[in-house]
Amino acid sequence: MNAPARLTYRLARDAQQPVTVAANAYRMPLASIADYARVVQCDDWLPAEPKNAAIATHETAPAGERRVLLDHVQYFAFLAELSGRVRNEIDASARLFFEVCAPYFGSLPPALLQPRVLLGVRLFDEAQWYGARGETVVWVGDHILRDLDYAGDNSIHCAVWPAHLASAVDAVLLSDWSRYAIRAYTDPSASFNAADVLLRSTRHE
């Protein structure tokens, strides 16, 4: 069986880019003044993130682990653009598997409704099956914090088949995401355990 390349990243806020609506002001639901006050307090509590996320270490990474960088709508827009970049820049026939979970009640972007893009839970075995057949496959299991109640640390884990495409996928993940006011950086300190990624990617706490 073809072994995949395994890649790990963290997201950080891009301080150079303005954010029209701060992602961490988004909560489901924001029903009262007290809800908004809690959001503001949480944001004020967070320490500043390093200006250069590329040189952040595991000592500085926790500063951004509990910051909401993408709300629910932005999250799926980000996955849609990631899917489009992989298919446009690497392989138009690539299969993409995204581990996602509820709650989300909005419409999905068209790019995530394509026949070779699958959103669901516990998809690693299926991705591996297609990878073993020699197809181009990118599996993504993320822990992106989407609201203040979500269990996440803003990490992204990828498995890539065939393994020699790892550098191409890496270039996509590390490319410009300034439209979302975020940037990704390689995080070799984050362990890649498929079972753990699967469990944490499908829980909302």
Strand partners, 8: 157
Rounded-to-integer distance, Cα 162 and Cα 165, Å? 6
Rounded-to-integer distance, Cα 167 and Cα 107, Å? 32
Q: Where are the domains of the chain?
A: 5-201
What percentage of the chain reaches a pLDDT higher than 70? 65
Query: Which amino acid does the sequence have at 141?
Result: G
Q: Are 141 and 196 in contact (CB under 8 A)?
A: no
Structure tokens, 45: 């509590």
Structure tokens, 96: 């993409």
pTM: 0.76
Q: Are 146 and 75 in contact (CB under 8 A)?
A: yes
Place of tokens 């839970």: 121
Convert 149-174 to b/e letters by CB count within 10 Å (16 or more is b): ebebbbbbbbbbbeeebbeebbebbe
User: For position 57, what pLDDT does the model report?
Assistant: 37
Of 51-60, 82-91, 192-201, which has the strongest mean pLDDT?
Answer: 82-91
Strand partners, 34: none
Confidence of residue 46 (pLDDT cuts 50, 70, 90): very low
- The three-state secondary structure class of 188 is coil
User: For position 56, what pLDDT does the model report?
Assistant: 40
Rounded-to-integer distance, Cα 146 and Cα 70, Å? 6
